[in-house]
Amino acid sequence: MSDGFGWIAEAGGGGGLQLVAARGVGVEQLAVMLGAEPGTVMDAATCNAVVAAAGGTTRLPDLARLGSHGGWAYAFETGGGLFRTDRGHLNHLWEGRTYVRVSDTGTDPPLVTAMVDGAWDWQYCDGSVHERARADHPLTARMTAEIGLGSAVPDPDFPDDPDECSLFVPDMADVYRLFGAYYGLSLPRRTIGQPFHTDTALRGAFTAPRTLPDGQPHPAYATIPRP
């Protein structure tokens, strides 16, 4: 079952989400690209049991819940996701690839980014497309025509004054829907569920480095429960 991409904000359960999806790679490969040790991807039942035994993900090392659909592998991440600074040594694994990222902290407006064949292609945040995107980008044009991207909202106190207008911010469900349609990304809602609870069919892998910069073992790995 696949439900497009417009529903994806709901996967965070209201608390935001960090999502990355890469085209043409498998789940095991994506896990390594995110920092997991090769061969450490858990099946869904095992990972769900670990999360349940730990009482959630807060005390676990950074965790990716992984799946694949329609030629894409995807991962929902705990921890910093896009903002992690310890993965520079993995940059070469992403070279030449097509991938997308959604970063929604739950407090700041979501940031949606697409890379195509290793080159930056498009980015959106809070009603605006990044100025690096070419002016005639087809996705920008479609959002402008269909969901009002770039339009103005008159101030009700000064409806005839264009200087008092504010930028219209489309609903994120519409942004995600058109974004997924353009890049050919559709994710299965029933499989994913809420990825950091125990009702998901996604596999799991710990992606935090096992050794800290000072050479000491990462303490969170020593306390992972063994259900």
pLDDT tens readout for residues 109-163: 999 999 999 999 999 999 999 999 999 999 999 999 999 999 988 777 777 777 7
The answer to whether position 146 is within a domain reads no
Q: Are strands 17-23 and 99-104 parallel, antiparallel or unpaired?
A: antiparallel
Q: How far is it, in rounded angstroms, from Cα 217 to Cα 140?
A: 46
Query: Is this prediction's pTM over 0.85?
Result: yes
Number of domains in the chain: 1
The answer to whether position 62 is within a domain reads yes
The answer to whether position 92 is within a domain reads yes
pLDDT, residue 2, reads 56
pLDDT at 53 over 80: yes
Quote the percentage of the chain above a pLDDT of 70: 99
Q: How far is it, in rounded angstroms, from Cα 180 to Cα 4?
A: 7
223 alpha carbon, distance to own chain's centre:
27
Q: Return phi, psi of residue 174, to 5°.
A: -70, -40
Identify the residue whose tokens are 């942004």: 175
Strand partners, 129: 124
Mean pLDDT over the full length of the chain: 93
The answer to whether position 17 is within a domain reads yes
116 alpha carbon, distance to own chain's centre:
16
Among 1-5, 44-48, 204-208, the minimum mean pLDDT is found in 1-5
Strand partners, 153: 166
Q: Return phi, psi of residue 21, to 5°.
A: -135, 135
> Burial letters for 163-193: b for 16+ Cβ neighbours within 10 Å, e otherwise?
eeeeeebbebbebbbbbbebbebbbbeebbb
Give the DSSP letter of residue 49: H
The answer to whether position 205 is within a domain reads yes
The answer to whether position 48 is within a domain reads yes
Structural domain including 21 reads: 8-123+184-215
pLDDT, residue 202, reads 97
The answer to whether position 149 is within a domain reads no
CB 204 within 8 A of CB 64: yes
The answer to whether position 226 is within a domain reads no
pLDDT at 1 over 50: no
Identify the residue whose tokens are 């789940």: 27
**pLDDT tens digits for 5-42?**
999 988 877 778 999 999 999 999 999 999 999 999 99
